[in-house]
Chains A and B, each alone.
Chain A
């Protein structure tokens, strides 16, 4: 695994003093976060701390109240076509897969290429088949999502996001809805992506993944980034009490 370039000139995703409320609830509080090109950042923290919201603001599935988010030097546009174009550069993988239920696996991975990237169907299908093979579900291409296991569905969802050739991939607890025996097949795909140099933001409690694939761990609690550290350092020697408390809970499971 290569060391992430640290200089800010190669910053791909930059959040600057981002704030977000849900009514009275202050879910994101002055979030500053810079993610370098090729860097893998694991976001960890108690339930309700704002991790999902953080992911969703990065491709503007949620609006923000203040602060700026830039992707590859360009600030996130408000709404409309410009935003749609920028979203295509930010892949997102959801906890609940969210595959298009009325389309086959192949169509799921082809749709965005044809409609958004305006590729012709034939080359889109070729790309889709390559990606499906890469995530190990090539044999399921003609099936519908409901016919696949959770682990297979999640790998299709990863292929669907990759088909847009994104600059950064966001994963929001990609293995939390999976049966234990399927978690590893998804994590292995993500590890491979990380090795290939993809920029990734991964919300997960899988410490094995964080240790083996992450350049940095970001610990969130109550809408704030409480601590940032290299994985080894964070897991063996957390600085904040919140992180110590949280780690003791998930380690004693």
Chain B
């Protein structure tokens, strides 16, 4: 008996859920992280303060605590009816956004400040300066660390198994107890599935990196 072929549907289901969870959380983290990075370099003190608070809070809180806050806290605030999957995306995306923000911000810091001043001096607004001049150059240095963060995110999705999301890590729960499979073999297959995902992510980011290097 082979645990993978016997339970292929469960593995496939779990694998796809983990991919989805990683993809949606990743997109949320990238958008939110870039926005918060923009806050942190903006001329508006209130936005800067918000950005700093966001990063400080989320970077220094265990992810499990954030999951608890989102899954128990939001319903308590009256936000009921959210799917467990989307609550997990919210928790993972917010958490990762704090790290993305710092990666983007360190990328921003490598762009000579004189270029931003030149952009402002020809009348470009803060948003235009950031979008047209600073971020396109910041991305080049931010891509490698963002790749690492995405790999960390893929692995962090395992925490969602504790919050009713049927992803990869939760596959073993339904298996090892009753059917008498070797749990090491189960773990090996699950680990291999994660490996596929993380290798795909690092491949994608290496591709992005070389693309951007060519386009200067």
Contact = CB atoms under 8 A, between A and B. Distances in A.
Interface of A: 59, 61, 79-81, 84-92, 94, 96, 98-102, 111-112, 115-116, 144, 157, 160-161, 163-164
Interface stretch (B27-35, B119-127, B157-165): B119-127
A84 B114 contact: no
Contacts of B133: 100, 102
Given A79-B43, A115-B132, A144-B216, A100 B122 contact: no
Interface in B130-144: 132-133, 136-137
User: What DSSP secondary structure best describes chain B's contact surface?
Assistant: helix
Contacts of B118: 92, 94, 98-100, 157, 160
B128 interface: yes
Contact of B112 (A86, A87, A98, A144): A98
Given A61-B117, A101-B216, A111-B122, 9 more contacts: A87-B122, A87-B123, A88-B123, A91-B121, A100-B133, A115-B128, A115-B132, A116-B128, A163-B122
Interface of B: 43, 112, 114-115, 117-125, 128, 132-133, 136-137, 216
A61 B123 contact: no
Contacts of B120: 61, 84, 87
Which of B43, B115, B119, B133 has the most chain A CB atoms closer than 10 A to its own CB?
Answer: B115
A111 B118 CA distance: 12
Contacts of A101: 112, 115, 137, 216
Contact of A98 (B114, B123, B136): B114
Contact of B124 (A79, A115, A163): A115
Nearest to B113: A98
Given A98-B117, A100-B118, A100-B119, A116 B112 contact: no
14 contacts: A84-B120, A94-B118, A98-B117, A99-B118, A100-B115, A100-B133, A101-B137, A111-B124, A112-B122, A115-B132, A116-B122, A116-B123, A116-B124, A160-B118
Nearest to B137: A102
Contacts of B128: 115-116
A144 B112 CA distance: 16
Nearest to B215: A102
A80 B127 CA distance: 10
A34 B48 CA distance: 37
B166 to A, nearest CB: 44
User: Ordered nearest first, which 5 A-B pairs have the shortest CB separation?
Assistant: A88-B123, A112-B122, A98-B114, A98-B118, A92-B121
A98 B117 CA distance: 8
A161 to B, nearest CB: 7
Nearest to A104: B216
Contacts of A161: 121-122
B115 A85 contact: no
A96 B114 CA distance: 8
B132 A164 contact: no
Contacts of B119: 100
B11 to A, nearest CB: 44
A244 to B, nearest CB: 34
Contacts of B125: 80-81, 84
A160 B118 CA distance: 10
Contact of B123 (A79, A96, A100, A112): A112
Nearest to B44: A79
